[in-house]
């Protein structure tokens, strides 16, 4: 889940970009303060951020729900600690 926290009105077009299974750009989530975009990863789902200018600081918080099967342990706050 990506929680958008910026309050700058110029950031309205800074949402997460969504792609189809062929990696074609299909849309962008609205970037509104205190709004969130939830993305469920799969082999045929893709998201990212198309290159565009950012004035100021784009503030957001990434929240991952993980289980002990999470493979990208380097992304965790405490990668050596067991999950559970």
Parse the chain into domains and list their residue ranges: 1-84
The arithmetic mean of pLDDT across residues 19-44, rounded, is 93
Position 84 scores a pLDDT of 66
Average pLDDT over residues 40-63: 92
- Kindly state the tokens that stand for 46: 């893709």
pLDDT of amino acid 72: 83
* Neighbouring C-beta atoms of residue 4, cutoff 10 Å: 22
Buried (b) or exposed (e) across 21-58, using 16+ Cβ within 10 A? Answer: eeeeeeebbebeeeeebeeeeeeeebeeeeeeeeeeee
Which residue, 53, 84, 81, is CA-closest to 66?
A: 84
pLDDT for residue 51 is more than 80: yes
């Amino acid at each position: 889940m990506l929680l958008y926290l910026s309050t700058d009105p110029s950031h309205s077009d800074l949402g997460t970009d969504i792609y189809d299974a062929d990696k074609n750009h299909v849309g962008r989530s609205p970037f509104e303060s205190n709004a969130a975009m939830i993305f469920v990863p799969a082999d045929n789902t893709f998201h990212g951020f198309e290159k565009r200018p950012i004035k100021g600081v784009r503030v957001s918080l990434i929240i991952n729900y993980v289980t002990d099967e999470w493979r990208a342990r380097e992304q965790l706050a405490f990668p050596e600690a067991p999950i559970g």
